[in-house]
Amino acid sequence: MTVPPVIRLDDVRLALDGRSILDGLTFAVPARGVTALIGPNGAGKSVTLRVIDRLLCPDSGTLHVAAGRSAFVFQRTALVRASAATNVALALAPLGLCRRERAERVASALARVGLADRAGDAATRFSGGEQQRLALARAWALRPALLLLDEPTASLDPTATAIVEDLVAEMAEAGTTVLLVSHNLGQVARLAARVVVLDGGRAVEQGPTRSILSSPRTPEARAYLTGELPWTSFAAAS
């Protein structure tokens, strides 16, 4: 029996400021495990995550998301001007946990990302990498069914990157469906079972990670994976 996908986009179109950003985007994300969304700068990866989280409405096409609670770790984290612990606790407010349960979950989330000793420190004074780890702790504490990650390790050092990758893998193994945007192809190979390649707001290729990374079939996927970005089309667009 085939398990229906958790996310399905069908011919999704979206223009922003009069410019077409998503141009007939069609792909599906299976339940559980990590799916990576890759592609060149400006391909529409972050916009796609925003559409899936319903922060942006498509102009046309259909979007189907069959998941319970979702958590979104943005490229640039929005933190509240309060302690790290309060930032995690605020995210847990909708869960209706009692005070002790909430405190335990906050403590374990901070410990999980190596920030246990920073619980009382002001989150907005954290370094970029510490803020990213805090954002992931907040997401982990929610036990989401769907986790949307937008370049979660872009500003992290190798040790912190390993912590984040372990946590993402653990969540996926525990049943969370993860959609990961990353330019780190080593990370994509380590974490993702499937890859969707975006280019110009379209999914140009999708399939098992190993085959996409080692033998991409489309010129767009080949160009991205070999680093030959189409600079001429950037020039034409500007």
Ligand X SMILES: Nc1ncnc2c1ncn2[C@@H]1O[C@H](COP(=O)(O)OP(=O)(O)OP(=O)(O)O)[C@@H](O)[C@H]1O
C-beta of 95 vs 229, nearer to ligand X: 229
Strand extents, DSSP E, 67-150: 70-73, 146-150
C-beta of 37 vs 110, nearer to ligand X: 37
Distance (Å, whole) CA 88 – CA 95 = 12
Minimum Å gap between C-beta 15 and ligand X is 9
The region of 39-47, 60-68, 110-118, 163-171 touching ligand X under the rule CB under 6 A is 39-47
The DSSP code for 122 is: B
C-beta of 13 vs 32, nearer to ligand X: 13
Residue of 42, 114, 129, 230 that binds ligand X (CB under 6 A): 42
The DSSP code for 151 is: S
On whether the CB atoms of residues 191 and 180 are closer than 8 A, the answer is yes
Q: Determine the Cα angle at 226 with ends 224 and 231, to 5°.
A: 55
Q: Kindly write out the interface string for residues 10-29 of this chain, putting x where it contacts ligand X by CB under 6 A and - elsewhere.
A: ------xx---x--------
Residue of 25, 33, 36, 44 that binds ligand X (CB under 6 A): 44
Distance (Å, whole) CA 163 – CA 169 = 10
Q: Kindly write out the interface string for residues 114-153 of this chain, putting x where it contacts ligand X by CB under 6 A and - elsewhere.
A: ----------------------------------------
Distance (Å, whole) CA 199 – CA 25 = 10
Q: How many residues bind ligand X (CB under 6 A)?
A: 11
Residue of 2, 18, 41, 117 that binds ligand X (CB under 6 A): 41
Residues 46-75 that bind ligand X (CB under 6 A): 46-47
Q: Helix 158-173 vs helix 128-141: angle between axes, to the nearest 10 degrees?
A: 10
Q: Side by side, which strands form the sheet with 19-29?
A: 19-29, 7-16, 60-65
H/E run at residue 45: helix 45-52
C-beta of 106 vs 204, nearer to ligand X: 204
Distance (Å, whole) CA 191 – CA 113 = 17
Q: Which two tokens stand for residue 65?
A: 């998301």
C-beta of 45 vs 102, nearer to ligand X: 45
The region of 25-33, 41-49, 108-116, 132-140 touching ligand X under the rule CB under 6 A is 41-49
Residue of 12, 36, 45, 130 that binds ligand X (CB under 6 A): 45
Q: Which two tokens stand for residue 235?
A: 């020039």
C-beta of 110 vs 178, nearer to ligand X: 178
Residues contributing to the site for ligand X (CB under 6 A) = 16-17, 21, 39, 41-47
